[in-house]
Structure 1
Amino acid sequence: MIRLKMLLFSLTFTVISCKKADVSPPPIPISAYGEEYQKGANDETVRLEYNRLLDLVSVAYELDYIKSKKIDTTITTFPCGISSVDSNGSGLDLVFAGECNSRILTGKASIESLNTIDWNQRSATIKINIQDYIIKFTSNNKEITLNGQFTLASSNGGLISEIIPNSGGLAHEIRGNIDITFDNDSTRTWRITQKRYYRSAGSRWEDIQLRIDGDSGYSITETGKNKMGYDFVSNYNTPLVFYSCNSNQNWIPEFTLATGQYSYNVGTTSVNVQAGYSGEENGYTLVENCNSKRLKIDWYFNNGSKVEYLEY
């Protein structure tokens, strides 16, 4: 009888163990796990769009500043995508609406000054609250939604509008946490640390360049979970450099991502992303200039590799 009970216990334990193994979480996949490489449907698009948002906010805040200080009152319109700018007492409220470069923008950003230092002076700092900022792509109706907060601090003072006349430059330090809602209804949180350097590469307005690098001591610029829910840490191998391919004939940049490279790991998969490509499906070329329109994305798996090209 004792032997029979022991045998039954052993069989029961074995069955329970097998059932437990059956419901264990699956391992992190070694393929691209069905990631869509279309505008608006992936993590790379988020990286492009939150940087575009920071560009819009930086320009709008400076434009309001130089108007209020009577430094320059010649520019009366705000950049594409901003429908209204209103004072909120301690800063500005930006409302986004309308189509801009094949993207329909909606939402709001509130900007608040965190100190009494003039915006063109060192250590001037603002807080940016992003509220339901939605980017919808007209090519495929894909959407991403951003909510969250950034702080932007001027490291050395100066203005974007003074870069060409004064042959100078300026640096902004960025800290942020954003919640990203993808088209699969997943919401992910990213922490962002970066430095943004504006400089002149010549004497014309279109010679303004923006260089973005990580600001953690290890070139880390983002941490969080990707669209599919996996942890990642992104590192800038070389800074992202944006050229002002400007047709406005004024200081407001029209930035194009011309060059740069970053990488990150998702489980056992490593990803390397390089900017600066042009071309179509019949052939892509690394150009690294104002004709740059695509990212080259190299996936490296345990059992092989894959290449994707994503249009900006």
Structure 2
Amino acid sequence: MHLQFRNLAVMTILLATTVIACTKNNASEDDKSSDLFSELTVQSKDQVDVSGEVDAVTNDANLAVENYSAISGGKFLGVLGTICDATVTVDSASNPRKVTITYNGTNCIGNRKRTGTVILTMPATKRWKEPGTVITVTYQNLKVTRVADNKSITLNGTHVLTNVSGGLLLGLPARTSITHTITSNDMSITFDDGTQRTWQVARQRVYTYNNGIVVTITGTHTEGSKTGIAEWGTTRGGQPFTTSITQPLVIRQDCLFRLTAGQVQHEQHGTTATTTFGLNADGVATGCPGSGTYYCKLEWKGLNNNVRSVVVAY
């Protein structure tokens, strides 16, 4: 009888020890999940900010180039529009031809402040409307500050903007579509905490017309079996990452050239998270909010298969 009680006591101790160990392991896994989710959330926000500013500059570049027939090769139609927070100067006599966009103000919808310079160069023998024409886009200390929280990023480096199909956006809607690509191997990003990283970019933009210009964006880079990669490099936390566009990103002129829909997938630490755009504050798909706030939703399955999500403004 004493032996039975002794065995029971030993079993009780072992069971208690096992429960405590499991509890500690679960807590450890939860801590790891929380840390990973925090890192993924930061990277998701960074990717939204960086890609959004690249898209904004690309829109400005198209506007600046197509306003000048000596650069575009199109008919002179006067000013198509203005860049709210910048001045544009053109040197159409030099080789290469040069367009300089100098930013110093608040963008059209008032949610960003930009300072710095973007220089567009193109061989003097080419015109932008010709298929395959390449413009080199050089970012020089382009600092973009979000008005809502005063957070900023600063961009440097060069992008190659290629008019794959030829044609001008002026030709829409008569023309079915126009295709451009954006590539970069040296985009330097300085985040608001002083961290500096280099990203690479490979994006395709297809322009169509539906109550205004519609831009559909996909990723064009492939690594192994992974396709649709649009950005890759190192996070501000020092981890390698890739961002793939899994559902085309859509920018619409009739929504103030804002990102209205699409989905991207982030991979880092051997794990994957998904960000969906064009949502309201409840994380539900919504129509254009005008100059109001759009939201995106980041979703990730944690180490214990717990689904974590956060909805943030962009």
Calculate the TM-score normalised by the size of structure 1. Answer: 0.78
Distance in 2 between residues matched to 1:168 and 1:290, nearest whole Å: 28
Distance in 2 between residues matched to 1:68 and 1:123, nearest whole Å: 13
Q: Is the 8 A contact 2:299 2:307 kept in 1?
A: yes
Q: Is the 8 A contact 2:264 2:274 kept in 1?
A: yes
Distance in 2 between residues matched to 1:115 and 1:306, nearest whole Å: 53
Deviant stretches of 4+, over 6 Å: none
Instruction: Name the structure 2 match of 1:267.
Output: 269
Q: Is the 8 A contact 1:169 1:198 kept in 2?
A: yes
Q: Residue 270 of structure 1 aligns to which amino acid in structure 2?
A: T
| Structure 1 residues 215 and 114: alpha-carbon distance in aligned structure 2, compared to 1, 3 A threshold | farther
Q: State whether structure 2 residue 73 is matched by structure 1 residue 59.
A: no
Shift of 1:185: 0.7
Shift of 1:236: 1.1
Shift of 1:81: 2.2
| Structure 1 residues 68 and 256: alpha-carbon distance in aligned structure 2, compared to 1, 3 A threshold | closer
Q: Which of 223, 229, 254 is equivalent to 2:232?
A: 223
Higher helix share: 2
Q: Residue 126 of structure 2 aligns to which amino acid in structure 1?
A: I
Shift of 1:207: 2.7
Instruction: Note the residue ranges of structure 2 that are not aligned, 5 or more in a row.
Output: 1-30
Distance in 2 between residues matched to 1:148 and 1:190, nearest whole Å: 10
Q: Is the 8 A contact 2:299 2:310 kept in 1?
A: yes
Tell me the SS of whatever aligns to 1:151.
strand
Shift of 1:149: 0.5
After alignment, is 83-92 or 148-157 more displaced? 83-92
Tell me the SS of whatever aligns to 2:279.
strand
Instruction: Name the structure 2 match of 1:239.
Output: 248
Q: State whether structure 2 residue 149 is matched by structure 1 residue 140.
A: yes
Instruction: Name the structure 1 match of 2:77.
Output: 73
Instruction: Name the structure 2 match of 1:208.
Output: 213
| Structure 1 residues 264 and 309: alpha-carbon distance in aligned structure 2, compared to 1, 3 A threshold | same
Instruction: Name the structure 1 match of 2:300.
Output: 299
Q: State whether structure 2 residue 48 is matched by structure 1 residue 44.
A: yes
Number of aligned positions between the proteins: 270
Instruction: Note the residue ranges of structure 1 that are not aligned, 5 or more in a row.
Output: 1-27, 247-253
Residues 243-288 of structure 1, C-alpha deviations (whole Å, 9 max, x = no match): 1126xxxxxxx31111111102120432101111023xxx332125
| Structure 1 residues 290 and 87: alpha-carbon distance in aligned structure 2, compared to 1, 3 A threshold | farther
Distance in 1 between residues matched to 2:254 and 2:135, nearest whole Å: 27
Tell me the SS of whatever aligns to 1:219.
strand
Within a 5 Å distance, the mapping from 1:42-191 to structure 2 comes to 42-65=46-69, 71-75=75-79, 77-87=81-91, 89=94, 90-100=97-107, 101-114=110-123, 116-164=125-173, 166-176=174-184, 177-191=186-200
Aligned CA RMSD, in angstroms, stands at 2.7
Distance in 1 between residues matched to 2:72 and 2:230, nearest whole Å: 34
Instruction: Name the structure 2 match of 1:25.
Output: none
Instruction: Name the structure 2 match of 1:8.
Output: none
Q: Is the 8 A contact 1:234 1:265 kept in 2?
A: yes
Distance in 2 between residues matched to 1:161 and 1:290, nearest whole Å: 26
Q: Is the 8 A contact 1:124 1:157 kept in 2?
A: yes
| Structure 1 residues 32 and 60: alpha-carbon distance in aligned structure 2, compared to 1, 3 A threshold | farther
Distance in 2 between residues matched to 1:287 and 1:77, nearest whole Å: 28
Distance in 1 between residues matched to 2:47 and 2:53, nearest whole Å: 10
| Structure 1 residues 69 and 268: alpha-carbon distance in aligned structure 2, compared to 1, 3 A threshold | closer
Q: Is the 8 A contact 2:217 2:248 kept in 1?
A: yes
| Structure 1 residues 305 and 59: alpha-carbon distance in aligned structure 2, compared to 1, 3 A threshold | same
Shift of 1:223: 1.0
Q: Residue 284 of structure 2 aligns to which amino acid in structure 1?
A: T
Instruction: Name the structure 1 match of 2:283.
Output: 284
Percent identical pairs in the alignment equals 22
Residues 202-256 of structure 1, C-alpha deviations (whole Å, 9 max, x = no match): xxxx43100010112521111101121110111111111111126xxxxxxx311
Q: Residue 269 of structure 1 aligns to which amino acid in structure 2?
A: T
Tell me the SS of whatever aligns to 2:48.
helix
Instruction: Name the structure 1 match of 2:18.
Output: none
Shift of 1:66: 7.1
Shift of 1:68: 7.5
Q: Is the 8 A contact 2:63 2:80 kept in 1?
A: no
